[in-house]
Amino acid sequence: MACGPDPARNLRSALAGIGRAAARGAQVICLPELFRTQYFCQEADADNFDLAESIPGPTTSALSAAARKHCAVIVAGIFERRAAGVFHNTAVVIDADGSLIGTYRKMHIPDDPLYCEKFYFTPGDLGFRVFPTRFGRIAPLICWDQWFPEAARLATLAGAEFLIYPTAIGWHPSEVESQGAVQREAWSVVQRAHAIANGVFVAAINRVGAERTLDASESRPANYRGLHFWGRSFVCDPLGAILGEAGESEQLVVAVCDRDEIERTRRDWPFLRDRRIDSYRQMTERSLE
C-alpha cells in the first residue's frame, strides 16, 4: 500500500484493503511496516515521536475489530511508544477472534542515508517469536530483519510455519537506473532463501510510491532527496517458488499456502536434521578476525 501524510486515512485505507482481502478468502492478512504513517525515518526529527502509540492502542483496537469481523488473522507494523524515550518498530499479530496474541519488536535496526532508524527505534528485546494463530504458526519479522539468516532460522526452530515481513524498502531515486534491479532482486533472493533453508513459507509486504524528505531541495546530495518504495510484495513456498507477487503500485496479493508443503519439503530436503549444532557457537561473535 501507499502511505500518505494522514494517519487516519492510512488506517481507513488499510481497513478497506483488509475487507477486500477477506472477500477474496484471505485467512491471514498482512499490512506493511509502519503502515499508519509515511516513512518518517527519512529524517531524524524528535517531533515524529508524536506519531507513536501504545500497544494495545487505537490501531490494534481497529485491527482487532476488523479481524473479528472478517474472521481473519492480521499482521501489521506499528510505531510503538513503550515509555518516555523508548520507542519500537513493532509488528502485532491479531488472531481471527480479534485477540492481540503477538507483539514482535524489530530486532535488527538499520541506519543508512534516509533510513534513520537507530534514531527512532530501540532495538527489540523480545527475541524472535512465533505465535500460534487459528490459521498457522506465524513469526512476524520486520524489514531489515530480512537480511539476517539468523532471524529466519531462530523463528523456524521455534516452530514458525510462516515468516511474515512487514517492510518499507525503496530506492534512492538517483540509484534506480544503475542499481535498482540488482537491489530489488537481492531483496527477493535473500528472503526466498530463508524459505528454502528453513522449509517455511515467507511473505514480504512492502509499501509503494515516492515519499520525499521535507527538505528535498536540489542543494541536498542526490541520495537525500527521498525514497521510491519499490512494492513487489510477494509470498513464496518452502522451495522459494513465488506463489504471488505484486507490482510497484497498490495491489492485493492473495496466495494459497498449503501447510502440508512444509512437511513434504522437509522430508525431501531435511536440512534441519543435518545442522551441525556442535559447531555454531561462534554465531554469537561479531567477528572472528
Q: Catalytic residue positions?
A: 33, 106, 143
Residue 97 cell numbers, joined: 477472534
Nearest to its own copies of 19, 240 (CB atom)? 240
Nearest to its own copies of 57, 240 (CB atom)? 240
| Residues near its own copies (CB under 8 A) | 107-112, 123, 127-128, 144, 147-150, 152-154, 157-159, 182-183, 185-186, 189-190, 192-194, 196-197, 239-241, 268-272, 274-289
Q: How far apart are CA 146 and CA 126, in angstroms?
A: 17
Nearest to its own copies of 62, 190 (CB atom)? 190
User: With 0-12 CB in 10 A as exposed, 13-18 as middle and 19+ as buried, what is 149?
Assistant: middle
* CB 72 to its own copies: min, Å: 26
* CB 285 to its own copies: min, Å: 6
- E strand or H helix at 183: helix 176-198
Q: How far apart are CA 16 and CA 69, in angstroms?
A: 12
CA distances in angstroms from 235 to 4, 57, 195, listed in the order given: 25, 29, 10
Residue with C-alpha cell 502485532?
92
Q: Name the residue type at position 263.
A: E
Q: With contact defined as beta carbons under 8 Å apart, do 108 and 144 qualify? A: yes
| Among 164, 124, 111, residue whose Cα is nearest residue 141 | 164
Nearest to its own copies of 217, 287 (CB atom)? 287
* CB 57 to its own copies: min, Å: 26
Nearest to its own copies of 97, 263 (CB atom)? 263
Q: Phi and psi at residue 96, in whole multiples of 5°?
A: -70, -10
* CB 163 to its own copies: min, Å: 13
* CB 14 to its own copies: min, Å: 28
| Radius of gyration (C-alpha) of the chain in whole angstroms | 18
Asked if the peptide bond before residue 56 counts as cis, ω within 30 degrees of 0, the response is: yes
Nearest to its own copies of 94, 139 (CB atom)? 139
| Among 258, 199, 221, 34, residue whose Cα is nearest residue 114 | 221
Q: Phi and psi at residue 202, in whole multiples of 5°?
A: -130, 135
Q: How far apart are CA 93 and CA 91, in angstroms?
A: 7
What's the length of the chain?
289
Q: Is 102 helix (H, G, I), strand (E, B) or coil?
A: strand
* CB 244 to its own copies: min, Å: 16
